[in-house]
């Protein structure tokens, strides 16, 4: 049996994740997943690819607030906080989207911790960012994730990778939303339609991986693994793949422990 074992959201792009027991599925991805991000002075998105220090921002949820911790300091971000700053055009990969600065005090706090000038912006749910038309099914929208609303990875895929590494890596190197037990290593590559509990999903494209996977999420230090080893058996067309990008067909709630059924 295939079983959903972990559910994760990453409220602020490229920062720490929060594990959930259940989650509401929305068109843009799991509720509150990657709806916020940091941008630089040119309003271009910021990630661990260039700033590994972002791994040190750890998030948790307390009632209706996200608690963001950086070393010994922390700040609370109310989930339903109405952004105070101006609307702005921001760039994320090849997309230009309309976001709004959350507030000057948040931008100041992150700028001090990052030691660069940056702003915290929010991507309102009603604002548009279409999924790549080559892979969309019903003209879906996506949040501030790299390109697709949801990422799923099998625990057996990670176990297989770790069997090839001198030092195993945790699943957080790959930042999935959904982790499942059962099945064969990397079988999710071939998944098309499947359901988790009462919610239907569609696998649309294996996920290509980058140097972010080489950042230790506890220390913020960067190395060569697991990307070097993945390249020996998961590389094709000059890209390295691990995990499956997913679109939501239904918008119901999913729960840790739900059975996964393949269509």
193-218: b or e for each residue (b if 16 or more CB lie within 10 Å)?
ebbbbebbbbbbbbbbbeebbbbbbe
Residue 1 in 3-state DSSP? coil
Contact 17, 198 (CB under 8 A): no
d(CA 143, CA 167): 33
Rg (C-alpha) for the chain, rounded Å, is 18
Distance in angstroms (rounded) separating the CA atoms of residues 129 and 147: 9
The CATH code for residues 2-262 is 2.40.33.20
How is the chain split into domains, by residue range? 2-262
- Overall average pLDDT of the 195-209 stretch: 97
Q: What is the rounded CA–CA span in Å between residue 7 and residue 34?
A: 14
Entry field: residues in the chain: 263
Q: What is the pLDDT of residues 43-66, one digit of tens each?
A: 999 999 999 999 999 999 999 999
- pTM for the model: 0.97
Q: 53: closest CA among 65, 35, 71, 32?
A: 71
Average pLDDT over residues 184-210: 98
Question: Model confidence over 2-51: pLDDT tens digits?
Answer: 999 999 999 999 999 999 999 999 989 999 999 999 999 999 999 999 99
Report the alpha-carbon distance of residue 56 to residue 215 in Å, rounded: 11
């Amino acid at each position: 049996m295939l079983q959903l074992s972990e559910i994760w959201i990453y409220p602020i792009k490229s920062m720490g994740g929060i594990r959930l027991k259940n989650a509401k599925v929305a068109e843009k991805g799991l509720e509150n997943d990657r709806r916020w991000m940091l941008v630089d002075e040119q309003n271009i998105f910021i990630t661990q690819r260039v700033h590994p220090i972002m791994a040190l921002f750890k998030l948790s949820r307390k009632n209706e607030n996200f608690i963001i911790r950086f070393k010994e300091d922390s700040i609370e971000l109310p989930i339903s906080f109405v952004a105070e700053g101006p609307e702005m055009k921001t760039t994320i990969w090849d997309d230009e989207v309309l976001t709004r600065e959350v507030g000057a005090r948040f931008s100041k706090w992150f700028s001090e911790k990052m030691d660069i000038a940056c702003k915290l912006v929010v991507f309102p749910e009603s604002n548009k960012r279409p999924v790549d038309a080559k892979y969309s099914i019903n003209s879906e929208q996506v949040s501030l994730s790299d390109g697709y609303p949801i990422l799923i990875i099998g625990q057996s895929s990670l176990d297989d990778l770790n069997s090839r590494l001198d030092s195993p890596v945790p699943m957080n190197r790959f930042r999935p939303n959904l982790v499942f037990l059962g099945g064969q290593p990397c079988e999710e590559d071939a998944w098309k339609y499947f359901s988790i509990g009462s919610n239907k999903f569609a696998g649309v494209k294996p996920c290509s991986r980058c140097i972010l996977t080489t950042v230790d999420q506890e220390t913020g230090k960067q190395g060569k693994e697991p990307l070097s080893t993945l390249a020996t058996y998961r590389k094709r067309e000059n890209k390295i793949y691990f995990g499956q990008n997913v679109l939501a067909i239904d918008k119901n709630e999913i729960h840790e422990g739900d059975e996964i059924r393949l269509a």
